[in-house]
Amino acid sequence: MEVNVKAIHFEATGKLIEFINKKADRLARRFGAITGFDVTLKVIKPETANNKDVLVLLTTDGGELVASKTADTFEEAYDKALEALEPQLEKFKEKK
């Protein structure tokens, strides 16, 4: 499985990349149909709270699933996005 992380207008830290990869691997083990992760990180208006936006695009053997969340930190937004994807993955799994 391939995990692509794209940081828009900033450089993502190694710790953040490691966090994203760890969570992606965990989700991929639960749902074997996942073939790829595309994660886009973006800062919205740096002077406000809840300014970290994460878009997760999962590629599966039957299509693509998408979730986007905003929070105070990238880690929190990523966790929320994965939580939003889990019901989609369960539904996809039931269809197969």
Domain ranges of the chain: 2-95
Partners of 34 in beta bridges = 60
H or E element in which residue 84 lies? helix 74-95
Q: Pull the structure tokens for residue 44.
A: 């919205």
Q: Which residue has the higher pLDDT, 74 or 92?
A: 74
Question: Regarding predicted confidence, which is higher, 52 or 1?
Answer: 52
Mean pLDDT of 47-70: 91
- Residues of the chain above pLDDT 70, percent: 99
Which numeric CATH code is attached to 2-95?
3.30.160.100
Q: How would residue 48 be classed by pLDDT, with cut points 50, 70 and 90?
A: confident
Q: Which pLDDT band, with edges at 50, 70 and 90, does 39 fall under? A: very high
Cα 42 → chain centroid:
12
Half-sphere exposure of 95 (CA within 13 A, CB side): 11
Chain length of the chain: 96
Contact 58, 65 (CB under 8 A): yes
